[in-house]
Amino acid sequence: MYSLYFIPGACSLATQVILRELGQPVTLIHKDADDQFSTLNPVGNVPVLQDGEQTITEGVAILLHLLEKHSNTLIPAHGADRLKAIQEMLFANATMHPAYGRLFFIAQNIEDGEVKQAAFDQAANSINHLWQVVEHKLSNQAYLGGDHVSPADILLAVYARWGEFFPVSINIGANTKKMLERVWQRQTFQDALAAEDAKMAA
């Protein structure tokens, strides 16, 4: 049994979806419910995964650990195709995620209304450029993983939900919207959302 520290709707949601895709049971722990969370991850971020005596931080490191430990069809087992899948995961986590992260930073740290909106607009332009890159990648395939959903698609499906919290216009292409809708509709994604809601209501 894995234990996953989470915040509702955060990038820890992708970790939970992957665990469900792998058929692995998981116990959810809200990071604020553990007074010792800072000892698990001094940075203070989720996800944090406990696998027995092992504590793992950083989203892609957690996902790679799980994907190597459990047989799956989410990424190829070896070779150039596996490298490409990892590259797409890092594009999502290390490029798209920080672009959305700027929106949260602006909301929390800029007080002047005009300056804040200008910063939001600039951040949205960067995000829209990245979604154009994704749209191009999906011009001839259903998912970043080709014909099958991949970890990168799941990561992007989590991040894409964040734009609605800010006064910005996020432009997502038709192919990308179809991919995101398919991911959102997967039973694993729906079950992960329901599990977060149930944990928060308990």
pLDDT per residue over 138-171, tens digit each? 999 999 999 999 999 999 999 999 999 999 999 9
Tell me which residue has tokens 């800072």: 38
Separation CA 173–CA 124 (nearest Å): 15
Close Cβ partners of 190 (under 8 Å, ≥ 6 residues apart): 184
CATH fit for domain 79-186, picks 1.20.1050.10, 1.10.10.10, 3.40.50.300, 1.25.40.10: 1.20.1050.10
- pLDDT at site 100: 98
Q: Where are the domains of the chain?
A: 2-73+188-201, 79-186
Closest CA to 78 of 88, 67, 89: 67
Instruction: Give the mean model confidence (pLDDT) for residues 81-85.
Output: 95
Closest CA to 56 of 19, 102, 83, 8: 19
Whether 7 has a pLDDT exceeding 90, the answer reads: yes
pTM for the structure as a whole: 0.97
Instruction: Give the mean model confidence (pLDDT) for residues 121-135.
Output: 98
- pLDDT at site 84: 95
Please give the order of strands across the beta sheet that includes 2-6.
26-30, 2-6, 48-51, 54-57
Kindly report the backbone phi and psi dihedral angles of residue 2, in degrees, each rounded to the nearest multiple of 5, phi listed first: -90, 150
CATH code assigned to 2-73+188-201: 3.40.30.10
